[in-house]
């Protein structure tokens, strides 16, 4: 997995380049274009640190916001990437931030409970991503390199809404992760196959 510190900042930057793919929906006659590019941050009233502190103080038994937790929240929200606990701890250690394994796992659980992070289970690994301040989106997960690609598609949201409506169901959320092979890995595999034939 690529280093978290080499990833993009939490602050979104405009980009003209986008990846487009066509998706045929059974109920439509024309394919819909899904544009995948960096998600824009939503305006929020509190910083992630303040939101987490508010969460800790609002619990039945008020909890203290420790310096280790504060350093962890700052580190996580200084970049935007999907990560697992082990990668997070390695990257924090490389940056000179010391935190115990138990504190890291407990804090990750609290960050999920507080709505700051979202937890995903993919290929037997638990990964986390920012939830606070970002719009709902879905994912493409490469089973070769582990890359998670974020995308938004109105058609998926419409299908979820319509399906719930048809069943008298009130949805609170959904989580779609499409698993497969990303373009760089497919290109790499094809190049290797060509070389194997020589």
- Return the pLDDT at 43: 83
Residues 45-96 pLDDT 10s:
899 999 999 999 999 898 999 999 999 999 999 988 889 999 999 999 999 9
pTM: 0.67
Intervals of CATH 1.10.10.10 along the chain: 44-134
For the chain, give the number of residues.
198
Better pLDDT: 29 or 111: 111
Residues 130-158 pLDDT 10s:
888 888 888 899 999 988 888 888 999 99
| Residue 83 tokens, joined | 């990560």
Question: Would you give the end-to-end CA distance of the chain in angstroms?
Answer: 31
Intervals of CATH 3.30.1490.190 along the chain: 136-198
Neighbours of 40 (CB within 10 A): 12
CATH topology of domain 136-198: Dna Ligase; domain 1 (3.30.1490)
In 29-174, which ranges are E strands? 32-36, 117-122, 125-130, 138-142, 148-151
| 44-134 under CATH 3.30.930.10, yes or no | no
Mean pLDDT of 153-170: 94
pLDDT bin (cut points 50, 70, 90) of residue 40 is confident
Is the pLDDT at 22 greater than 50? The verdict is: no
pLDDT bin (cut points 50, 70, 90) of residue 197 is low
């Amino acid at each position: 997995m690529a280093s978290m510190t080499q990833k993009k900042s939490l602050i979104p930057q405009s980009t003209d380049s986008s990846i487009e793919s066509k998706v045929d929906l059974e109920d439509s006659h024309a394919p819909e274009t899904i544009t995948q590019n960096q998600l824009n941050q939503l305006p929020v009233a509190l910083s992630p640190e303040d939101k987490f502190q508010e969460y800790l103080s609002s619990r039945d038994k008020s909890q203290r916001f420790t310096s280790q937790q504060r350093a962890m929240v700052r580190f996580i929200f200084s970049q935007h990437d999907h990560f697992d606990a082990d990668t997070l701890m390695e990257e924090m250690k490389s940056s000179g931030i010391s935190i115990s394994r138990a504190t890291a796992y407990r804090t990750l659980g609290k960050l999920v409970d507080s709505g700051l992070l979202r937890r995903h289970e993919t290929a037997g690994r638990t990964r986390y991503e920012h939830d606070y301040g970002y719009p709902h989106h879905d994912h493409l997960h490469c089973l070769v390199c582990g890359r998670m690609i974020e995308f938004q598609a109105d058609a998926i949201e419409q299908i979820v809404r319509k399906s719930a409506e048809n069943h008298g169901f009130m949805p609170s959320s959904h989580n779609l992760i499409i698993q497969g092979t990303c373009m760089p890995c497919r290109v790499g595999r094809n190049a290797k196959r060509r070389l194997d034939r020589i």
